[in-house]
Each structure stands twice: as structure tokens, then as C-alpha cells.
Structure 1
Amino acid sequence: MPWTIDSFDVTDSLFYWGNIPQVGPEWNYGSESSDDTPYDRLFTRSNFEVMDSLTTLAIEQCPNVETVVTVGMSAGARMIQRYVLVSQLDQDYVGEVRFVYIAISPAHYAYIGPERRVGESWDEFEIPSGDDLADCPTYNFWPFGSEEMYSYFEDLQPDSIRAQFYRRTFTLVIGTADTTLLEGSNQHSCHADLGGEHDRMERGTIWWNHLDYTYGPIPANFEFHHAEGLGHSGNIYIRERVRYFIFDQFSRFTAE
């Protein structure tokens, strides 16, 4: 989880991120760190660039590393789901290190194509038009789509994002009881609601079905697991089945 700071803690050497109205914390999405008066910075960094740097440091300090598993839950999962789409770090370690990304119960998603669900359907998709488009003309802008990307990955095109994501190892985990109605403006922007209006299980299933619609079929290196009986709780990490999703990555890849 991020460290929440007070104004008196903002030293010149500290990166910090604010909030985007109706979207949420900037650190979820690869935003540049803040540089607002009176806390001017000499330079800013995308939090995805910080993730790249931390991962690179860990690999360099531990030269026998074969697999890196990056996991996030809730808001952290929103970040992981976006990071796996646009990160270029794995290209520096082809044939040396395997990268695995696990998102647990994010509230909403970045889509890899311009289509969204049709009406109340969970598995039919089309490009929004009519009132849906008029009410949300920026629906496919990042961090909910693959247009108008942020500066750290602004050169990535939608086709490139779809191609590189297809090759990555990604797991989505949602508790079967994570069906509490989502509340708050950060959870119900027009962009998010085009992917489902009710709960995390609904939105996750719709987004997963969109992957099948886009890729047809979903590649074997993608997995979607339901954590039986679990709601939206950090306890999901310590359940035996969820630990398997995380730690079995090492034995699976070592055995290949």
C-alpha cells in the first residue's frame, strides 16, 4: 500500500501523487508525480517508472532471480492491471527472468479495445454510440482505455499494447463474495460504469469476457480464478488457494 503523507513530510527528494477527480489516486495509473506549489520538485516520475526501477534493483541485487511476481489487491490491483499492459521492463530480460502479474479484486479496468458491453450483457460487446458515447466521449482514454496515454508510455499504440499483453503471464483473482455494491465517485465514473455498474465480480467477469472477445480465445498464460467465499478483504492473500496462485508460479516456471 502507498504511504499517506502529511504536508510537513514532503521533502525535496520525495515523489508524491495526488488524486484525479472521479478516477482516484494517480499512483494507480502511471501518472507523473505531483509538482504543485508549494511543493515544487526538480523533476517528476511516473509511478510505473518507479516500479521499473525497484524491480530492476531487486534483479540486480539478486542475480539468481528467475521469476518476478508482482501482486496487487484492490487499489494495488488497479495499478497492476494497468502496469502489465504498458510496462516494457520485461524486454530487458528476455530469456533471463520471467515476469508474472497478479491482480486481486480491482474495482475497474483499462480495456485493450474500444468496445464495451452491450446494454446489461456480460458477454456482448460493441463500440459505444448514441447516448453512451454522448455521455462519455472520453470513455476509451487512459486509464480506462488505450487512447490518450500518459507521458511515460505515450508512444505505445493500441495494437502494440494488445500484442505485448498477449505474451505476458497474468492472473486475475476475485472473491466469489466480492459482490458488495460499489460506492463513491471514484468507482462510478462514466468510464468505469461502461464496464459494469454494480460490483467487482461483475466488472471483472465482463472485462475477462472482453479479453476473449478481443483475442478469441484467451491465451493459456492468462488465468481467472474465483476465491471461494471471500469478499473484499486483505485476508484473500493468506487463503491457501490464493497463496497457490502467487507462490506456485515459481515451481511452475522452474519445472518448465
Structure 2
Amino acid sequence: MKKQLTIWLCFIMFGLSAHVIAQSNPLPEGLPPSRISFKVNNKTVYIPYWRNLAIGTRRTNITNAIIAFHGVNQYGKSVYDNLRSAAISEGQLNNSLIVSPIMMELDHMNYHNLDKNTYAYWTRRWKFGDLSQNSNRVSSFTVIDKIVEILLRNNPNLKTLTITGFSAGGQMINRYAAGSRVSIPSNVKVQYVSYAPSIYLYPDSRRRISGSENRFRTPSTNCSNYNKYEFGINGNLNSYMRATGATAIKRNLTNRTVYQMIGERDTGTRYLDVRCGAKLQGDNRYQRARIYTNYVRRYYMRNDNKKLLVARGYGHSAGAYKARNVRKVFFASSRRSKAFDVHEFDKETSTNEITVYPNPASNRLHLSGDSKNTSYSIFNPQGKMVRKGINNAPEITIEDLQPGMYFIQIKTDTFTTQKTFIKN
């Protein structure tokens, strides 16, 4: 009887182990068709990624590059799609390279039947820079280093590099901004945008005083690990952060441009870290972002290089990358193509002396007031410029335009105004 029971228990345990080993789940948005490849320990490592352009091709037109990471549920395509839409809205897709790597985990490796010797995969601690689980172990922070090196090598006219992550990806970038050791030329502006992380890295023992968002001191607490990694840097550092060292971490955090990005409605608790070390940082993501920004601005800031970036109207969503004020951070160049963001017309200026009439109009459009020697541009609802000129004449000919709604932007020496009109 004992022998039969032992055999039965062994059978059950083997079955459970086999289930765990064979557990497989697809990536929620499918496996990206593209791969980033680089060498670690003289062995090739592959990382799947979403992108608008291949990262390994040399280009002279790219002036803006973005590396963007997903959250714990690995919706990397959604992060990429929203940033691509933002680039289009700002008229900068043609000069921007956007890459969104996928941090693979074992169940995805199994489902997509990927080679575990060449593809890097992690536990969910990829967000903290830990080593991968495959035989050629690589820190997730080293992956970012390698991507940065590839971008710098292949885009000689690069001017701005933004490294960002959403949710768990935001935790990753918050720590990478402090720990990264990759060398970047001084002529490339680098900024880190940590969007909606659950917890932040505090490089000293101070935390907010309960009930306050801008007063800090070392807390009296029974939470013994609140200042150890991944909450702080006083112990438990992984190999990458240990190689950087506490002194360099503090120096990096002080010298680098870092945005704490958050949706103003991100006040829920879904997927929120509620460990004792996390609770000392605030009650929700929105509050934690505000508190942490106050903290780094007080103790770890140089030349106003720490900012809070609030996406109005958004909760915990990658869609906030399309918010107007957020787009301006990622695509800050004054360079614009003829693609125009028609949403800029959602609030017509009413304080200026120029009006458009008749409206609707058939063949001629008139501008009242002091409108001579002003420039104008007319856009269709898709944002394409269809007419531009100098308004020296008392009227603008529109008879060749198709019937429908249009937007006209009028510029003078002292102001710019936007109007909407209908072509009959």
C-alpha cells in the first residue's frame, strides 16, 4: 500500500512539474516580426521588437530616437502604436526611429517555440535590471545599453534620445536612469521618461512624512527592507546596479534629465505594489509620482532637470503618450512636416481681430481686420496642407477645394490664430 501511495504521489508531482515546465502563453499582441541582435560574452542575443524602422540600418535623416518598454502584461505594440501616432501628430515620423523591445518570459518562449540558448528571457524582475534566465545571462539594463549603442552607431545625425517605459517599464526606466553606464556623446540630448511606475528608486533613507507630499525624513518603521533594492540602494543590488555603485547612482540621478510622467486619473490600486516599502512612497501611482518628483527636485536635481509630466484626462493607459503636452517632450524639435495635427484647432482663438467670412463659403474666403501681409495655411481634416500663401489680396480663392470642413491657420508678426470654415 505504501509503495502504491509513493508511486501515486510521484506521478502527481511529476505531472505538476511537467505542467509548470511546459506552461505556455502567447504574447498578447503576437510575436513581433523583427529582432534586435547583439553580442554578449561573444554569443549572439536576440530580442523581439516593434519598430517603424529597422534598428540595424544606417540612416542620416534620423534626428530623434525613442526606446519604449511595455508594462508587466507586455503590450509592447500598444506602446509603440501610441508613440508612432504622437510622432505623426507632431509631423516628425520621417525623422524619428521608434523601437519597443519585448522582454520575453518563459511561457512566451514556450508558446512561440523560441531557442532558449539565443533569445533572452526573464522572470518579471526584468523591470529591475536582473539577469535573464537563459544560459548566456544578460541584465535587462544591458539590453538597453546595447540598443543605445546600435542607435548611436547607425544614426550619425541623432540629436535627441528618449528612453521611456510604461508601468513596469516605468519602473525599469526609473532605475536605469540612475544606474546606466553606457557612454553617450555630449551632442546627443538624452532624457528618461518613467511613466506610471508602481514604485520608485530612492537613493537615500528619506521618505515623505505621512500626510505630506513635500516634506521628507528617515521614517521610524518596522519595514526592514524599505531602503533595499528595489525600493532603495542600501543592499540587495543586482549585479548591474552593484557594478555602477551607490556613489555613481546618486551622481547619475542628479545629472540626468528625468521626467516622472503620470496620468492625472491614475489613482487606482490595480497592479499597485502594496508592500510596506511601497506604501511609504504614497497611496497610489499619481501621488507617488508627485511625491518622488518633489523628492528628487529637492535632493537630486541640477539645472531644473527633474520634472513632473501629467497627462490630463488619462488614467493608467499607454494612450497618454498621445497627450499634447507629452508629445512635446518626445518630439520637441521645431522641425515639422506638412502633416498637421488638426486637434490643435480644438480651441479657436477669439481675442484676435481677424475673422473668416463667409462661413460656409463657395468660391472666395475673406479675412476681416488687419489681415494684409499675413501668411496663411489651409489644412483638410486629415491634417494635409492643401493651400498656403501670403494674404496680400482681400480674398482667398477656394473654388478648387472639395466640399467639406477645413482649417486655416493665420500668422502675423504678433500672433497666430486658427479658424475653421466650411467649403460648400
Superposition map of 1:143-182 within 5 A = 143-148=230-235, 149-180=237-268, 182=269
Match of 1:29 in 2: 128
Q: 2:275 aligns with which of 183, 189, 198?
A: 189
Match of 1:21 in 2: none
- In structure 2, how many angstroms separate the alpha carbons of the residues matched to 1:76 and 1:127? 28
Give unpaired runs (5+ residues) of structure 1: 19-24, 36-40
Match of 1:52 in 2: 145
* RCO comparison, higher one (Cα < 8 Å, 6+): 1
Q: 2:299 aligns with which of 211, 214, 219?
A: 214
Match of 2:226 in 1: 139
- In structure 2, how many angstroms separate the alpha carbons of the residues matched to 1:219 and 1:113? 21
Secondary structure of the corresponding residue to residue 72 of structure 1: strand
Secondary structure of the corresponding residue to residue 155 of structure 1: helix
- In structure 1, how many angstroms separate the alpha carbons of the residues matched to 2:266 and 2:303? 25
Specify the structure having the higher radius of gyration (Cα): 2
Whether contact under 8 Å (1:30, 1:152) holds in the other structure is yes
Match of 1:199 in 2: 284
Deviations 1:92-124 (A, max 9, x none): 234242211111222211112211122232222
- In structure 2, how many angstroms separate the alpha carbons of the residues matched to 1:146 and 1:219? 24
Offset of residue 241 of structure 1: 1.9
What letter matches 1:246 in structure 2?
F
Whether contact under 8 Å (2:257, 2:306) holds in the other structure is yes
Superposition map of 1:23-172 within 5 A = 25-35=124-134, 41=135, 43-89=136-182, 92-129=183-220, 132=221, 134=222, 136-148=223-235, 149-172=237-260
Offset of residue 227 of structure 1: 1.4
**Cα pair distance change 1:117/1:218, threshold 3 Å:** farther
Offset of residue 234 of structure 1: 1.5
How high is the sequence identity, in percent, across the aligned residues? 29
Whether contact under 8 Å (2:163, 2:192) holds in the other structure is yes
Whether contact under 8 Å (2:181, 2:244) holds in the other structure is no
Match of 1:7 in 2: 110
**Corresponding residue pairs, total:** 229
Deviations 1:187-232 (A, max 9, x none): 1111111101x211111111112213424x6641222122112111
Match of 1:232 in 2: 316
- In structure 2, how many angstroms separate the alpha carbons of the residues matched to 1:31 and 1:251? 38
Whether contact under 8 Å (1:102, 1:246) holds in the other structure is no
Q: Structure 1 residue 243 and structure 2 residue 327: aligned?
A: yes
Normalized per residue, the structure richer in strand is 2
What letter matches 1:29 in structure 2?
F
Whether contact under 8 Å (2:297, 2:306) holds in the other structure is no
Q: CA RMSD in A?
A: 2.1
Normalized per residue, the structure richer in helix is 1
- In structure 2, how many angstroms separate the alpha carbons of the residues matched to 1:85 and 1:117? 20
Secondary structure of the corresponding residue to residue 154 of structure 1: helix
Whether contact under 8 Å (2:129, 2:238) holds in the other structure is yes
Give unpaired runs (5+ residues) of structure 2: 1-69, 71-101, 336-424
- In structure 2, how many angstroms separate the alpha carbons of the residues matched to 1:223 and 1:155? 28
Match of 2:393 in 1: none
